[in-house]
Amino acid sequence: MSDKKIIFSGIQPSGKITLGNYLGALSNWVELQDEYQNYYCIVDMHAITVPQIPKDLRENTLLLLSQYIASGIDPNKSTIFIQSHVPQHVELSWVLQSMTYMGELGRMTQYKDKSAKGGENLNSALFTYPVLMASDILLYSTDLVPVGEDQKQHLELSRDLAQRFNNRYSDTFKIPEVYTPKVGARVMSLQDPSKKMSKSDENENGYISLMDSNDVIIKKVKRAVTDSVGIVNYSDEQPGIKNLLDICSKFEKVSPQDLALRYQGKGYGEFKSDAAEIIAQGLRPVREKANEYMNDKAYLEEIYSQGAQKAEEVASKMLSKVYKKIGFIPKKRI
């Protein structure tokens, strides 16, 4: 057994992932990888809480796996797997649902946002979604969950549920901590810097997909909404410029304030063309490698099969413990 602390995180294959997913989540996983024992999941069961086209879901799942590896998640250091391959996630989720209050779920902002858009045809999984997320995390005795800012509230719920179970039965679950990066935790839309960058944005110019070509990236950055101040400052008064500075600072590994200093006395045009180049060059290797992995389905199959096997070993032990504690009769093999 390794005495390293444990990380669990996941992304939904509900479309092509964006620069926001990359800077808010994926790139940080790579940085934490050596220090921790890691589980990185492709949460396909979460993705179906909004309608998916089966063919696209299959494609996006394999693409996300390719992007994990292309970003630097090393299958020899991390357990990479697909959520639907490890049935214990939904099984634990049912147990946890029986201890979750409707009021708690009703307060989740992601649910409130998505349900506001969905009108009357809401499915119940959209409501219980955070409980499945809690079970993802708690099955692996996770210490740390690296995610973007928007997931903090879900993490709070995971902690509450773990504590509730431990109090009601006895110490079982580790209480996970959230990890959000200092810069990049909330990458904003290029078209409306008051909204987070999202792969479900109707306006394609609002987000950069990890698979966008250099030309497309450059065009989108040049079209990014800014302001009429005309000076490159790192300030809340200039959210469009601030967003671009944050993004570039992550690639350049300098503070956004220092980056702004480079543009003293220069206009937005010059800043935007540099920003476009930094982002395009930063994403190019990930895109190219991901395309290579997409052409090697046998390799991808090997990674996700081994990952599921390793994950299930851990998850099944935790689930048996939980079932026993709540009073279910252990199944006997005959």
The residue ranges that bind ligand TRP (CB under 6 A) are 8-10, 12, 43, 46, 133, 136-137, 145, 147, 151, 154
Write the DSSP symbol of residue 331: P
6 touches, from ligand AMP, ligand TRP, none (C-beta below 5 to 8 Å by class): none
Would you count residue 12 as binding ligand AMP (CB under 6 A)?
A: yes
**Which burial class, exposed, middle or buried, applies to 110 when counting CB atoms under 10 A from its CB (0-12, 13-18, 19+)?**
middle
**Residue number, 52 or 95, with CB nearest to ligand AMP:** 52
Q: How far apart are CB 269 and ligand TRP at their closest, in Å?
A: 35
**CA-to-CA distance for 13 and 10, rounded, in angstroms?**
10
Q: How far is CA 128 from CA 9, 38, 76, 79, 123, in A?
A: 18, 25, 33, 26, 9
Q: Contact, 197 vs 187, CB < 8 A?
A: yes
**CA-to-CA distance for 36 and 328, rounded, in angstroms?**
33
Of residues 7, 8, 16, 24, which one binds ligand AMP by CB under 6 A? 24
**Rg for the chain, CA atoms, rounded:** 21
Residues annotated as catalytic are 114, 196, 199
Q: How far apart are CB 207 and ligand AMP at their closest, in Å?
A: 8
136 touches, from ligand AMP, ligand TRP, none (C-beta below 5 to 8 Å by class): ligand TRP
Q: How many CB atoms lie within 10 A of CB 294?
A: 17
Would you count residue 11 as binding ligand AMP (CB under 6 A)?
A: yes
**CA-to-CA distance for 12 and 46, rounded, in angstroms?**
6
Of residues 25, 65, 280, 319, which one binds ligand AMP by CB under 6 A? 25
Of residues 48, 108, 187, 260, which one binds ligand AMP by CB under 6 A? 187
* Residues 140-159 contacting ligand AMP, CB under 6 A: 147-148, 150-151
**Residue number, 179 or 323, with CB nearest to ligand AMP:** 179
**CA-to-CA distance for 30 and 84, rounded, in angstroms?**
23
Which stretches of the chain bind ligand AMP, using CB under 6 A? 11-12, 20-21, 24-25, 147-148, 150-151, 185-187, 196-197
